């Protein structure tokens, strides 16, 4: 069976709240680290979330 093209990544909040989203990414198409502006419910604002590894 073939290996999957997508991997799971953790998008961690830059507001230092500890909140994170888990999403999928194709590392062959997007080689740089993902950075997305999303809602952080702890600070109740939209902040930038940066890619981190899932342990």
pTM passes above 0.95: no
What's the CA gap between 4 and 39, in Å, rounded? Answer: 29
Strand order in the sheet with 7-13: 20-25, 7-13, 45-52, 35-40
**Measured between alpha carbons, how far is 30 from 52 in angstroms, rounded to an integer?**
15
Cα gap 2→14, rounded to integer Å: 35
pLDDT in tens, the chain (55 residues): 888 899 999 999 999 999 999 999 999 998 999 999 999 999 999 999 999 988 7
Distance CA 16, CA 3 (A): 34
Q: Which domains does the chain have, with CATH numbers?
A: 7-52 (2.20.28.120)
């Amino acid at each position: 069976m073939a290996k999957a093209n997508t991997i799971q990544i953790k998008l961690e909040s830059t507001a230092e709240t500890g909140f994170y989203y888990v999403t999928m990414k194709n590392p062959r198409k997007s080689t740089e680290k993902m950075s997305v502006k999303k809602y952080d419910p702890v600070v109740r604002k939209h902040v930038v979330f940066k890619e981190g590894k899932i342990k």
